[in-house]
Amino acid sequence: MSSSSFAFEINASDNFARRGNAVTAHGTFQTPAFMPVGTSGAVKALTSDDLEECGAEIILGNTYHLYLRPGEKLIQQLGGLAKFNGWNRPTLTDSGGYQIFSLQELSVIDDDGVTFRSHLDGSERRFTPEKVVEIQVALGADIIMSFDQCVPFPAVIRSAEIGVHRTFDWAKRGLRRYQELCNAVEVKSSLFGIVQGSVYESLRKLSAEQIVSLDFAGYAVGGLAVGESKEAMEEMLALAIQYLPSDKPRYLMGVGYPEDIFMAVSYGVDMFDCVLPTRNARTGMVFTSEGPLVFRNADCADDERPLDLNCDCKVCRRYSRAYIRHLYNQREITALILASYHSTYFYQKLMRDIRASIEKNAFSAFRGWFLERYLRGKDISQGDS
Amino acid sequence: MSSSSFAFEINASDNFARRGNAVTAHGTFQTPAFMPVGTSGAVKALTSDDLEECGAEIILGNTYHLYLRPGEKLIQQLGGLAKFNGWNRPTLTDSGGYQIFSLQELSVIDDDGVTFRSHLDGSERRFTPEKVVEIQVALGADIIMSFDQCVPFPAVIRSAEIGVHRTFDWAKRGLRRYQELCNAVEVKSSLFGIVQGSVYESLRKLSAEQIVSLDFAGYAVGGLAVGESKEAMEEMLALAIQYLPSDKPRYLMGVGYPEDIFMAVSYGVDMFDCVLPTRNARTGMVFTSEGPLVFRNADCADDERPLDLNCDCKVCRRYSRAYIRHLYNQREITALILASYHSTYFYQKLMRDIRASIEKNAFSAFRGWFLERYLRGKDISQGDS
């Protein structure tokens, strides 16, 4: 990966929790990092200014969506994803594997790749491991992901095993294509591998060993937070992460709730992404220090308090629950903006506080303090959706 | 109007164009002023922070909408409209007359008031001139409007005449109720009267004389920009404004396009409101220094330029037409935010520049310079919607 400008270093640790930073062609991001999800090039209902204000340092774009619209060629022509979306900071694109898993009725998987129909116009398309790398290199994200097969949950062991073998085969093919591209043109994207294996210990171990045998710039654990129990998620993560090299970033894909992030950081995960903060905001729920708050509910109708009593974000400094609830019920876009902003800020503040706690060797104490208040609120809320 | 904390002064003039400021209980706004429309307590797709950044100093709320949801009592309980919507600066509420005119199939007008059905739940409601003042005083805007009958365009002279007589009768009744309230409680809202008369010279003159005979804090010209020609609008405005006292603010309701604002300022109008900048933004068109731009069109697909080449707003400094068009076509909320922000900034910048030109006795030159570039762009655009 000679063309890559990627570097990762660990500055502090607290038991297995790690505090580091990753340097990319578009700048540095601090870890553990939470990446807001900008599916089509924008985090829904937010601007790049908003994301900067919230403290986000890296955002994710979805390869599947960007490939369909506006197409990787246009984004390449306009200077790559970071420039296109006015972000100008680090970006990561996913592999498209999860979207194909989500759209399984529109896709047919074989050993060579996946044929699927566009959810936009029904046109037939095909992803192979090579093609997915080519698309992502054209999109120009700083971190790109190997094409994987994320099996649905629950999966019988035989399906999960096929998924693991395909994921390894596709990882090798994608890496080969990536190296060819690096030899031919300037590639600023760094390629990460993905461990699969559903909830089967033997398969997670096998997949981790296989993927780590390949020289990726970082390693992700995929196929979790797809419906399995929190115990199974933790067990699989704890198992897989033992095999991941400690000098490269570890990314737990699609996770998650604050409690999941604390759990995963405690095992040494460095990167996260999840649609929860913004998706839930658009359906009337925000994350707060005292647990999830369903601000669309009637008990917020005359509540003059901010969304989160312990938050210093610009939404909490200015607007009441009553106001945001009113706007939400009137289907005002402004409600979605305000709620998305707060929850995005909440997640970024959480990561800042986690990073600071690791630096002070106080991660475990911070986790206990935070979750005691958060989960107490969660218990009395009907809010977690 | 002893309870009012309203004051208005003219600091400069250039022919009939006036440069002033209005002091309210929630602060001062500079005139000529353009008020963004926050129908339900928010300007659609924008936050109060956005409005401040754009330079807005006063925003409008719709009495009809706020009365239905969340209700004037809740807003009063939560400290009034400016506090409720996190704006904390001057606000104005309209009379509801225009909404009832817009919803005419749901309303029945008689000499005493209007019975209508809520567009939300079909419930029967009634507005009288007294009730409309009571609602607005409860909402607590700095400027409130007398209940008027805005007749549809075109109207036969007999209908327009009935509208003028009712508007006068209702103005007297509303003013009486307002004075009763001022004597009973602390009222920080100042009441403006509204001139009607459709496109009939004799009725405009009659209505202006009638309304001006009553002691309002300011005077509005209503019932224009409702479908009549631009020539008729100008003629009616020019006629009515002669009767309005020069020491009180003059408000042209529901106007309008940049060229209309220049025209009206040239006759001495001080205040404007219109949904155009934000409504059009949400349908894919923004206002620019070179005329309207339909950014949803295919010719923006690979256009790296900002929405407006001569704009220094944060949207134009950061995002390309190609990006905003892509987001718009993907139905991303962020597209509506970016477009609404730019057009709102464009209008506020226009007003700042108009005010500066009056101070320099250069209004006419600025009008010519601006419109030459703007209308040239408009001619070659297919964009004005």
Contact A323 B45 (CB under 8 A): no
Is residue B94 among the annotated active site residues?
yes
User: Contacts of residue A49 in chain B, CB cutoff 8 Å?
Assistant: 314, 318
Residue that has been written with the tokens 């409005």 in this structure: B51
Q: Provide the pairing of β-strand A59-61 with B218-221.
A: unpaired
Q: Provide the pairing of β-strand A91-93 with A143-145.
A: parallel
Identify the closest residue of chain A to B324 by CA–CA distance.
A85
Band the pLDDT of B101: cuts 50, 70, 90: confident
Q: The dihedral of CA A94, A98, A103, A105: what is its sign?
A: positive
Q: What is the pLDDT of residue A5?
A: 79
Contact A333 B336 (CB under 8 A): yes
CA distance B316 to chain A (A): 10
DSSP states of B252-282: ETT---HHHHHHHHHTT--EEE-SHHHHHHH
Q: What is the mean pLDDT of chain B?
A: 95
Identify the closest residue of chain B to A321 by CA–CA distance.
B84
Kindly give, in sequence order, each residue whose CB lies less than 8 Å from that of residue B338, ignoring residues fewer than 6 positions away: A47, B315, B319, B324, B327
Instruction: Evaluate if residue B385 carries a pLDDT over 60.
Output: no
ipTM tops the 0.95 cut: yes
Walk across the sheet containing B124-127 and list its strands.
B107-110, B113-117, B124-127
Contact B69 A304 (CB under 8 A): no
Which candidate in B323, B329, B336, B345 is best for mutational testing of the A interface (most A CBs within 10 A)? Answer: B323
A58-77 pLDDT, tens digit each: 999 999 999 999 999 999 99
Partner residue facing A330 (CB), from B40, B49, B323: B40
A24-40 pLDDT, tens digit each: 999 999 999 999 999 99
Q: The dihedral of CA A39, A40, A44, A49: what is its sign?
A: positive
What tokens were used for B331?
A: 């139905």
Q: Residue A219 phi/psi, 5° resolution?
A: -135, 135
User: Contacts of residue B327 in chain A, CB cutoff 8 Å?
Assistant: 40-42
Chain A residues near any Cβ of chain B (below 8 Å): 40-49, 65, 69-70, 74, 77-78, 84-86, 301-302, 304, 314, 318-320, 322-323, 326-327, 329-330, 332-338
Q: Across-strand partners of B250?
A: B219
Q: What is the pLDDT of residue A4?
A: 59
Cis check for the bond before B154: say yes or no (omega within 30 of 0): yes
Contact A48 B301 (CB under 8 A): no
CA distance B70 to chain A (A): 6
Contact B46 A336 (CB under 8 A): no
CA distance B53 to chain A (A): 13
Walk across the sheet containing A190-195 and list its strands.
A33-35, A271-273, A250-252, A218-221, A190-195, A143-145, A91-93, A59-61
User: Contacts of residue B46 in chain A, CB cutoff 8 Å?
Assistant: 334
Which candidate in B334, B336, B340, B341 is best for mutational testing of the A interface (most A CBs within 10 A)? Answer: B334
Partner residue facing A334 (CB), from B42, B318, B322: B42
Q: The dihedral of CA B205, B211, B217, B222: what is its sign?
A: negative
Identify the closest residue of chain B to A304 by CA–CA distance.
B78
User: Can you tell me the distance from the alpha carbon of B194 to that of A312, in angstroms, rounded to the nearest whole number?
Assistant: 43
User: Can you tell me the distance from the alpha carbon of B108 to that of B145, in angstroms, rounded to the nearest whole number?
Assistant: 21
Contact A326 B41 (CB under 8 A): yes
Q: What is the pLDDT of residue B5?
A: 79
Contact B333 A337 (CB under 8 A): yes
Rounded to the nearest 10 degrees, the angle between the axes of helix B129-139 and helix B157-184 is 50
Instruction: Evaluate if residue B379 carries a pLDDT over 80.
Output: no
User: Can you tell me the distance from the alpha carbon of A290 to that of A38, in angstroms, rounded to the nearest whole number?
Assistant: 27
User: Can you tell me the distance from the alpha carbon of A322 to that of A303, in angstroms, rounded to the nearest whole number?
Assistant: 5
What tokens were used for A104?
A: 């399984």
Residue that has been written with the tokens 């699969």 in this structure: A196
A–B CB contacts, 8 A cutoff, strictly below: 109
Three-state SS for chain A is: CCCCCCEEEEEEEECCEEEEEEEECCEEEEECEEECECCCCCCCCCCHHHHHHHCCCCEEECHHHHHHCCCHHHHHHCCCHHHHCCCCCCEEECCCHHHHHHCHHHEEECCCCEEEECCCCCCEEEECHHHHHHHHHHHCCCEEECCCCCCCCCCCHHHHHHHHHHHHHHHHHHHHHHHHHHHHCCCCCEEEEEECCCCCHHHHHHHHHHHHCCCCCEEEECCCCCCCCHHHHHHHHHHHHCCCCCCCCEEECCCCCHHHHHHHHHCCCCEEECCHHHHHHHCCEEEECCEEEECCCHHHCCCCCCCCCCCCCCCCCCCCHHHHHHHHHCCCHHHHHHHHHHHHHHHHHHHHHHHHHHHCCCHHHHHHHHHHHHHHHHHHCCCCC
Q: Angle at CA A145, nearest 5°, toward A140 and A149?
A: 140
User: Contacts of residue B72 in chain A, CB cutoff 8 Å?
Assistant: none
Q: What is the pLDDT of residue A101?
A: 73
B72-99 pLDDT, tens digit each: 999 999 999 999 999 999 999 999 988 8
Residues of chain A with confidence (pLDDT) below 70: 1-4, 379-385
CA distance B41 to chain A (A): 8
Higher pLDDT pick, B104 / B212:
B212
Contact A327 B41 (CB under 8 A): yes
B244-283 pLDDT, tens digit each: 999 999 999 999 999 999 999 999 999 999 999 999 999 9
Band the pLDDT of B234: cuts 50, 70, 90: very high
What SS3 class is residue B105? helix
Band the pLDDT of B377: cuts 50, 70, 90: confident
Contact A86 B319 (CB under 8 A): yes
> How big is chain B, counted in residues?
385
- Helix (H) or strand (E) holding B337, with range, is helix B333-359
Residue that has been written with the tokens 């407006």 in this structure: B308
Q: Characterize B130-160 residue by residue with b for buried, 16 or more Cβ atoms within 10 angstroms of its Cβ, and e for exposed.
A: bbbbbbbbbbbbbbbbbbbbbbebebeeeeb
Instruction: Evaluate if residue B384 carries a pLDDT over 60.
Output: no
Q: What is the pLDDT of residue A385?
A: 40
Looking at residue B9, the DSSP 8-state letter turns out to be E
A98-141 pLDDT, tens digit each: 887 777 778 899 999 999 998 889 999 999 999 999 999 999 99
Burial of B263 (0-12, 13-18, 19+ CB in 10 A): buried
What tokens were used for A41?
A: 């090039």
Domains of chain A: 7-274 (3.20.20.105), 280-378 (no CATH)
Band the pLDDT of B4: cuts 50, 70, 90: low
CA distance A45 to chain B (A): 5
Contact B261, B350 (CB under 8 A): yes
Contact B85, A325 (CB under 8 A): no
Contact A40 B336 (CB under 8 A): no
Q: Across-strand partners of A20?
A: A10, A31
Contact B336 A332 (CB under 8 A): no
User: Can you tell me the distance from the alpha carbon of B204 to that of B224, in angstroms, rounded to the nearest whole number?
Assistant: 11
CA distance B246 to chain A (A): 38
Identify the closest residue of chain A to B83 by CA–CA distance.
A319
Looking at residue B298, the DSSP 8-state letter turns out to be G
Q: Residue A91 phi/psi, 5° resolution?
A: -135, 160
Which candidate in A88, A313, A333, A338 is best for mutational testing of the B interface (most B CBs within 10 A)? Answer: A333
Instruction: Evaluate if residue B187 carries a pLDDT over 50.
Output: yes
Kindly give, in sequence order, each residue whose CB lies less than 8 Å from that of residue A288, ignoring residues fewer than 6 positions away: A307, A308, A309, A310, A311, A346, A377
Q: Angle at CA B28, nearest 5°, toward B24 and B30?
A: 125
Partner residue facing A42 (CB), from B44, B49, B332: B332
Q: Residue B250 phi/psi, 5° resolution?
A: -120, 130
Kindly give, in sequence order, each residue whose CB lies less than 8 Å from that of residue A109, ignoring residues fewer than 6 positions away: A100, A149, A166
Catalytic residues of A: 94, 273
What tokens were used for B257?
A: 């396009």
Identify the closest residue of chain A to B68 by CA–CA distance.
A330
The residue annotated as part of the active site, out of B94, B142, B148, B270, is B94
Rounded CA Rg of chain B: 20
